[in-house]
Chain A
Amino acid sequence: MNCSEVNRIVQSLLAGEGGDPFPELLEHLRDCQGCESRFATLLTMASNLQHLPDRKLPEGFDARFWHRLAQRAQKEREKAWQSLMFSIAATDEVRWILMLLLSIGTVAVILGDTVAAPRQPLLISAANIVVTVVALLLAAAFVHAVSYSDVIVRIFRRKTR
């Protein structure tokens, strides 16, 4: 066995491969002063590392872990329910139906006064039209915000992280 072979074997031994140093290697280390001074201490040190004591688990570790796990599971259930609701709201059909209902509602509220007071003539002024259009736009924005709030929440969470 030559020194370069010993070097290779010692590297493997230090990495935990091949178990304990075998007699041939020990013999070389005894005979070759260069290798002995280079590797004998390293091998002893590597073996000593295995006997370093464990750090004791902090008190209440188990209880905190199971509590944390239960909390996380609960959060995940809530999140699953939330994303189900969001996915329903995000479908096109639901969005259009919501838009339609909101539009009808908005127009009904704006014209409500005129219908409730029939003596007054129906007033279709420019101001009324502007208010109706703005209300419709706000309704559309609201529906879209609901549909995409899941995405918005996710982006916000990532940023705060």
Chain B
Amino acid sequence: MTDEQLAEMAAAGDQEAFASLYDRYKQALFNFAWRVVGEAGLAEDAAQEALIAAFRHIKCFDPAKGSFKAWMFTIAHNECRHSFRLRGWWSYSENSGNESSGAKTIAPDSGCSLDEKLDLERALKQLSAKYRIPLILSRLHGLSTRECAEVLKLSEVNVRQRVFRAIHRLQEIIMTGDKSNRE
């Protein structure tokens, strides 16, 4: 069953449908929030608030306006911004990403080596939110350019450029890190 069908059932008062949506999104939203705010406690708050907001406003979801996934991530993104605003931080670019990334992660099934992953994770944290968030949405959560544009209220061209620059910047950060390690 698709997310949109489940959302329709949840809007009609089916709590089981909402529970299914919760199971589908809890991990993704927590991960997204954690990579945006950089702290597990704040990330849990943001993810849970996003899920609660989705539950309360599920009737407002309109499949004609976009996918359920984009809608869910829009709420989560707003919650992350809200959690920073509450703490009086104007920008959440430099304040995030302070926790160690190695701990408490689920073992990946495939891909690059562990060192490469740690390098990537570290480099990701050094990116400013402007570039990090589109990259996280598109590469880590598989949102399409259109969906990213919807979440971030940007044009599709803008999203594409930011993702491109983000990956470029990641490469630079990793290369600089490698150089300084060698030195």
Show the binding face of A for B, using Cβ within 8 Å.
Answer: 10-12, 14-17, 41-42, 45-46, 48-58, 61-62, 64-65, 68-69, 72, 161
B135 contacts A57, CB within 8 Å?
Answer: no
B111 contact from A11, A41, A48, A57, Cβ within 8 A: A48
B139 on the A face (CB < 8 A): yes
Q: A12 contacts B117, CB within 8 Å?
A: no
Q: How far is the CA of A102 from the CA of B171 in the complex (A)?
A: 76
Is the CB of B138 closer than 8 A to any CB of chain A? yes
Give complex CA distance A67, B48 in Å: 11
Residues of A within 8 A of B163 (CB): 11, 14-16
User: Secondary structure of the B side of the interface?
Assistant: helix
Closest chain A residue, CB of each to CB of B104: A56
Chain A residues closer than 8 Å to B168, beta-carbon distance = 42
Q: What residue in chain B is nearest A7 (Cβ atoms)? A: B164
Q: Known contacts being A48-B112, A68-B48, is A53 close to B40, with CB within 8 Å?
A: no
The A-B contact count (CB < 8 A) is: 112
Residue among A17, A56, A65 making CB contact with B22, cutoff 8 Å? A65
- Whether B111 lies near A51 (C-beta < 8 A) is yes
Partner of B26, one of A48, A61, A68: A61
* Contact, CB under 8 Å: A53 / B52: no
A54 to B27, CA, bound (A): 8
Contact B111 A50, beta carbon cutoff 8 Å = yes
Residues of B within 8 A of A161 (CB): 86
A100 to B26, CA, bound (A): 56
Residues in chain B near residue A17, CB distance under 8 A: 144-145
Q: Mark B82-93, 1 if CB is under 8 A from A, else 0.
A: 000010000000
Closest chain A CB from B44 CB (angstroms): 6
**Chain B positions within 8 Å of A64 at CB level:** 44, 48
- Name the residue among B86, B110, B120 with the largest chain A CB count within 10 angstroms: B120
* Closest chain B residue, CB of each to CB of A41: B171
Q: Which residues of B contact A52 (CB under 8 A)?
A: 108, 111, 117, 120-121, 124, 140
Q: Which residues of A contact B106 (CB under 8 A)?
A: 53-56
- Residues from chain A with a CB closer than 8 A to the CB of B66 are none
The answer to whether B34 has its CB under 8 Å from any CB of chain A is: yes
